[in-house]
């Protein structure tokens, strides 16, 4: 199974359409089973941005697109438009072995993320139903701090509660966006993956537009980073080859 994670497209003033055109060609060539977009599809949550984004996303050739909202999508009451343009299911069984569950972490006119007590309880009940599956959790805001991204005050503010639930229910993979910085944290049986920005000007750390390719085979998960118009490599390489800038 191949799942492509796109994130932080930012259709609007920061959007680079020529970059997105390349993404469409590259992703369609992969023939992915699903595309997962981890938030900030738009830049200001405006109706015209949503309309354009809907047309752009329709160019992907895949069985399923799962889009979740980010803090930019919630701006200007954009949260009222998101479900209209991008209806989604919170629980997605991709096949007999893989399930993708999504959490809403965006809140109106706030940059930080929050899962909340009720949604966390729901997550625990839901994940416990799928004991023998590969469990993937997707959200917009980053769950664990990432190098080169400054203040951690805009991450999930109740991250400790969510992490406890994730570990207790044996989630295999968490996919996040928000900080425009590709990164992976590996914690024994759990990997927390952060995506870069797919098509906006605000690249960070790697200074190139990227997306992630998740391959699942024989219940093993491999996450690769793909530079738009460039090479593909294991996302772990970014961590292994990290050098602090002077």
pLDDT digits (tens, 9 = 90+) for 210-241: 999 999 999 999 999 999 999 999 999 999 98
| Strand-strand pairing, 65-68 and 34-38 | parallel
Candidates 149, 239, 245; CA nearest to 203 is 149
How confident is the prediction for the chain on average, in pLDDT? 94
Q: Render pLDDT for 106-134 as a digit per residue (tens, 0 to 9).
A: 998 888 899 999 999 999 999 999 988 99
Residues contacting residue 79 through CB under 8 Å, at least 6 positions apart = 45, 69, 73, 106, 108
Instruction: For residue 166, report the phi and psi dihedrals to the nearest 5 degrees.
Output: -60, -45
Q: In the chain, what is the greatest distance between 2 CA atoms, to the nearest angstrom?
A: 48
User: Would you say the pTM of this structure is higher than 0.75?
Assistant: yes
As given in the structure block, the two tokens for residue 243 are 């050098």
Q: Are residues 241 and 232 in contact, defined by beta-carbon separation less than 8 angstroms?
A: no
Candidates 199, 169, 231; CA nearest to 13 is 199
Q: Are residues 143 and 149 in contact, defined by beta-carbon separation less than 8 angstroms?
A: no
């Amino acid at each position: 199974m191949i799942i492509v994670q796109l994130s932080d497209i930012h259709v609007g003033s920061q959007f680079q359409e020529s970059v997105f055109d390349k993404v469409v060609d590259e992703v369609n060539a992969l023939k992915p089973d699903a595309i997962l977009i981890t938030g900030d599809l738009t830049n200001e949550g405006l109706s015209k941005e949503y309309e354009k984004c809907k047309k752009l996303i329709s160019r992907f050739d895949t069985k399923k697109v799962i889009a979740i909202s980010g803090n930019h999508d919630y701006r200007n009451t954009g949260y009222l438009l998101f479900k209209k343009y991008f209806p989604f299911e919170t629980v997605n069984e991709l096949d007999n072995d893989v399930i993708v569950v999504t959490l809403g972490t965006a809140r109106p006119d706030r940059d930080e993320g929050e899962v909340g007590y009720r949604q966390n309880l729901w997550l625990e009940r839901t994940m416990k139903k799928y004991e023998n599956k590969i469990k993937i959790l997707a959200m917009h805001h980053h769950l664990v701090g990432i190098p080169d991204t400054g203040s951690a005050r805009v991450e999930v503010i109740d991250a400790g509660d969510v992490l406890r639930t994730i570990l207790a229910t044996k989630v295999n993979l968490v996919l996040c966006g928000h900080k425009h910085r590709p990164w992976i944290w590996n914690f024994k049986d759990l990997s927390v993956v952060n995506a870069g920005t797919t098509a906006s000007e605000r690249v960070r750390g790697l200074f190139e537009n990227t997306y992630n390719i998740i391959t699942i085979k024989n219940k093993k998960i491999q996450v690769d980073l793909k530079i738009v118009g460039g090479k593909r490599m294991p996302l772990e390489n970014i961590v292994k080859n990290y050098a602090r800038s002077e």
